[in-house]
Amino acid sequence: MKYDVTIVGGGPAGSTAAKFLSEKGFKTLLIDKCKFPRDKACGGGIPIRVLDRFNYLKNTDLINSYSYGGIAFSPSLKYKLELIESKPFVAMIIRRKFDHGLLKLAEDSGTNVYEGKKVVDIKISEDTAKVFLDNGSIIDTEFVIGADGVWSTIAKKTGLHDNNRGLAVCVLKEYKLDEATVDKYFGNNRCGHLYTRFKNIVGYGWIFPKKEHLNIGIGSIIKSSDDSNIKVNLIDLFNNFIDTLKKQKMVPIDLETDGVKGGALPIYPLDKTYSNRVILIGDAAGVINPLTGEGIYYAMSSGEIGANVISKALESENTSEAFISKYQTYWKKDFGKDLDLLISSFKVKQKQSTEKYFKMASKDKKLTELLIRSITGQISIKDNKWKIAKRIILGSIKPYLIRD
């Protein structure tokens, strides 16, 4: 049998694309090297706009809890920005359950799923694409979607991979506590906490309180696009971070630091995210917020956009690369500008200027709100960049005159 679309990777990107394609009636196969439920190193905090855009999630039990605010500390821990609200701010998920749930939604829509099978190669010819599995099977398909994460085999085999791509790494531990203990430390509002540039890393430490879990981690860029490598010992930093949190009485004193998990994430999109009969979505394409590493919204959105473009190509029987190139045009139009702005703000975000912005924003509630909302994906940076720039310019020249 020939499939219309074969999706490699059953994370949020792949499962979302699979669900949309199957709902349109296309013969869709999804292959993942893991058996589900599988875990994935992740903070598990997703902006509310994920639920607004993919509102079918609201009818599931895939959201663990909600956080009603965010608190961010400056590198020196001297300044604190805080925004707490009465409505949900960030939705918290447990990745093992969330990813399995998304995969089941795709399966319920008609996707054929192969679990525990690794894709090792693909070959593209004039009239078909072939996907090669590690057990020797070969799949015949019109299109391939590479949704196979940061180390994407599909990106490498199609030559779309960039050896110099920027990369961040994180270590984390998701502590299972009881609800009363999380209540004691984080109350009902379950605010997420960020420790920006903790110990001078090009990254941050985080605490994401969930219903009965604390997800605590630390991450740093280790390779930037200018090919400079940054050396960090994340295990030492994680231990140091937990000690600091204990000293601040932010977490229970008996939290152990063994059994951490690690993961990598891209920080910039690839220059080209499609080739003949192939598109890349999610981390495989590098669509992610470079400041926070928040990638699930972009993974699912690129999955949706990719599914739409491939549907149109199949409907119009136009499998040309020129047609498929619309995928990149559409995702850029959707969220590309926001990613560009986040990338450029990240490039100028030196340690001293970070401390300076924290100091400025700590005296300006409006700027605090704009920064926290745009960095956590609640508002578009593109639509608010001038408001942010105005507050920063005002804050630089007349800090004591700022009024709301």
Binding site for ligand FAD (CB under 6 A): 8-14, 31-34, 40-46, 118-119, 147-149, 153, 170, 172, 217, 219, 263-265, 282-284, 288, 293-296, 299
Measured from the CB of residue 393, what is the shortest distance to ligand FAD in angstroms? 31
Nearer to ligand FAD, 65 or 391 (CB): 65
- Provide, rounded to whole angstroms, the least separation between the CB of residue 114 and ligand FAD: 9
Single-letter residue type at 46: I
- Residue 205 or 263: which CB sits closer to ligand FAD? 263
3-class secondary structure, 141:
strand
Collapsing DSSP to helix, strand or coil, 402 comes out as coil
CB of 157 to ligand FAD, least distance (A): 10
Q: Give the nearest distance from C-beta 381 to ligand FAD in angstroms.
A: 16
The whole-angstrom separation of Cα 360 and Cα 251 is 28
* Rg of the Cα atoms in the chain: 22
Tell me whether residue 40 or residue 365 sits nearer to ligand FAD (CB atom). 40
Q: What does the alpha-carbon distance between residue 287 and residue 332 come to, in Å, rounded to a whole number?
A: 10
State in angstroms the smallest separation of the CB of 398 from ligand FAD.
Answer: 37
Can you spell out the DSSP letters for 117-132?
--EEEEEE-SS-EEEE
Closest CB to ligand FAD among residues 75, 295: 295
Quick one: 219 or 395, whose CB is closer to ligand FAD?
219
Under DSSP, the state recorded for 229 is B
- Smallest separation (angstroms) from ligand FAD to the CB of 316: 27
Question: E strands within 166-314?
Answer: 167-176, 192-196, 203-209, 213-223, 261-266, 274-275, 278-280
Classified as helix, coil or strand, 388 is helix
For ligand FAD, the closer CB: 50 or 83: 50
> Which residue number, 101 or 295, has a Cβ lying nearer to ligand FAD?
295
Q: Which is nearer to ligand FAD, 8 or 194 (CB)?
A: 8
Q: What share of the chain is helix, strand, coil (3-state, %, to 5)?
A: 40, 25, 35
User: In the bound complex, what is the minimum distance in angstroms from residue 12's beta carbon to ligand FAD?
Assistant: 5
CA atoms within 13 A on the CB side of 219: 29
| First-to-last C-alpha distance (Å) of the chain | 64
Q: What's the min distance (Å) between Cβ of 388 and ligand FAD?
A: 22
Closest CA to 395 of 351, 373, 352, 365: 365
How far apart are alpha carbons 12 and 376 in whole angstroms?
19
Tokens 């390779």 label which residue?
Answer: 223
Could you give the 3-state DSSP secondary structure of residue 56? helix
